[in-house]
Amino acid sequence: MQPLSDCTVTVIGLGLMGGSLAGALRGHCKEVIGVDRDTAIVEAAVRGRFADRGTVDLAEGVAGADIVVLATPVRTIVRLLGELGPLVHAEALLMDLGSTKTQILKAMAHLPDTIQPLGGHPMCGKETSGIAAADIALFRERTFILSPLPRTSPEALELGASLAKAVGAMPLVIGAERQDFLVGTLSHLPYLLACSLVSTADVTTSADPLVWHIPAGGFRDTSRVAGSDVTMMLDILMTNRGEIVKAARLCADQLDQLIQLVEEGDETRLGAELSRIQRIRKEMYP
């Protein structure tokens, strides 16, 4: 395969992730083409210099592409994988940026043999969405998970890794199921916790509306990801249900144990448990 600098890259879906990736790739490849179903978004992407040119026509957008990156919600990625086979250049690298990988890789396995498929998941995001929130620095210093299929060539994986590095990220190769297990705990569970916290505060509001006027830093951070795009999150939750439910039940058990220690006033055990957790957190983020 040719080096990234000689490639035309088409990014499909110009939201926060796709727009940011397209913009970050400019200058690292021959041309960046942006595709979105919404004309206004395509225009905003080109005007904001996130893409060299753009189109709402999928076939036109991918026709000359050496690399195609799907940056839509997960189930739209799965659907588009069913349509792209005949439209994409025979030898193209076809990647995605979806947060769950198992179902996407299953769909990728049905692509025409000559196409090189590669699952991708950059571990970044914001609680804002859309091209207006796009930021070419979004991927810097972030882990960019790459999940190859058995059929993916070493050269295609290498090109995918170059793309990740070009936007400032650190590629990490993991199989699809292992990635879905890991992000179930690291990314999808925090979302459910943040949602539960906001929902709890909302119930509390009915007892005391002042709850909304005391901005606590801990609350703000712990609830941040509850502001994430719902269409994106719903697709993630629906395509990683098994792992998410397992991780969330485990977490509910941990919470119950802590509640019980607080209720019983068992300071010795509670203190030991909180110290253990504090130590782990400090090891994770020194």
Cα separation, 243 vs 212, whole angstroms: 33
Residue from 45, 191, 206, 269 touching a second copy (CB under 8 A): that is 191
Kindly give the residue spans of alpha helices, DSSP state H, lying in 8-145.
16-25, 39-47, 58-62, 74-84, 102-108
Q: Applying CB under 8 A, does 173 fall inside the site for a second copy?
A: no
Applying the rule CB under 8 A, the residues between 194 and 223 that interact with a second copy are 194-204, 207-208, 210-223
Nearer to a second copy, 113 or 141 (CB): 141
Q: Applying CB under 8 A, does 127 fall inside the site for a second copy?
A: yes
The contact pattern for a second copy, residues 85-114, with x = CB under 8 A and - = no contact, is ------------------------------
For residue 182, the surrounding DSSP H or E stretch is helix 176-183
Q: Applying CB under 8 A, does 267 fall inside the site for a second copy?
A: yes
What 8-state DSSP symbol labels residue 141? Answer: T
Nearer to a second copy, 157 or 232 (CB): 232
Torsion of CA 55, 56, 60, 62, to 10 degrees: 90
Instruction: Give the range of 14-22, 32-40, 160-168, 178-186 binding a second copy by CB under 8 A.
Output: 178-186
The gap between the terminal CA atoms of the chain, to the nearest Å, is: 40
Q: Applying CB under 8 A, does 83 fall inside the site for a second copy?
A: no
Residue 28 C-alpha from the chain's centroid: 22
Nearer to a second copy, 87 or 201 (CB): 201
Nearer to a second copy, 156 or 174 (CB): 174
Q: Kindly report the CA angle at 126 between 137 and 249, in degrees rounded to 5? A: 135
Local structure of 186: helix, strand or coil = helix
